Homo-oligomer: A and B are copies of this chain.
Amino acid sequence: MNKTELLLEEFLPYKLSYLTNLISDDLSKLYTDQFGIAHTEWRVMAVLGVSSGVSAGHVAKKTAMNKVAVSRAINNMIKNDLIERQFSSEDKRRSELMLSTKGQDVYNNIVPLILEYENNILSILDEKERASLANILKKLTGYIKE
């Protein structure tokens, strides 16, 4: 029994997008308002906080951002002393990126706030629901990426 009428409130893509935006707005308050980090910059930082010395291309893959956005974020963060860059000696095109001392410090401050936020919203779900959500998101994502 499929729908033949489209109601935004009952349309999965809309509901997902709505929730995503709510969360995204909340999170950006944590890093933008308090630390002046833009959304794209935060994503770059999140990658470099875990894997140091990687290239811009690697960051792009991990964050699902396009290379232009990554390039801009990186150059801005370098200007703001949040990350450091050198170019690989084997391949002079490839950058090797790492958080600066200041960047690491900012990262260390943001991560607990971010995780606390995640914990908070997950607190509304019980264990089964959390597992179910993770599983469903994985299934959908895998299916759509084909």
A residues with CB within 8 A of B? 2-8, 11-13, 15-24, 26-27, 43, 46-47, 49-50, 62-64, 111-112, 114-115, 117-119, 121-122, 124-125, 129, 132-141, 143-145
For A114, the chain B residues whose CB sits under 8 A away are 6, 11
* A73 → chain B closest CB, angstroms: 15
Q: With A and B bound together, what is the CA distance between A138 and B140 in angstroms? A: 18
Q: A8-B63, A13-B118, A15-B134 are in contact. List 6 more A-B contacts (CB 8 A).
A: A12-B23, A16-B16, A17-B23, A121-B143, A129-B139, A132-B136
Q: With A and B bound together, what is the CA distance between A21 and B13 in angstroms? A: 10
Ordered by A's residue number, 25 sampled pairs between the chains whose C-beta atoms are within 8 Å are A2-B115, A2-B119, A4-B112, A5-B50, A6-B46, A6-B49, A6-B111, A7-B50, A12-B118, A12-B122, A13-B27, A13-B118, A15-B134, A15-B141, A16-B16, A17-B23, A18-B141, A19-B144, A21-B64, A121-B144, A124-B139, A129-B132, A129-B135, A132-B136, A136-B136
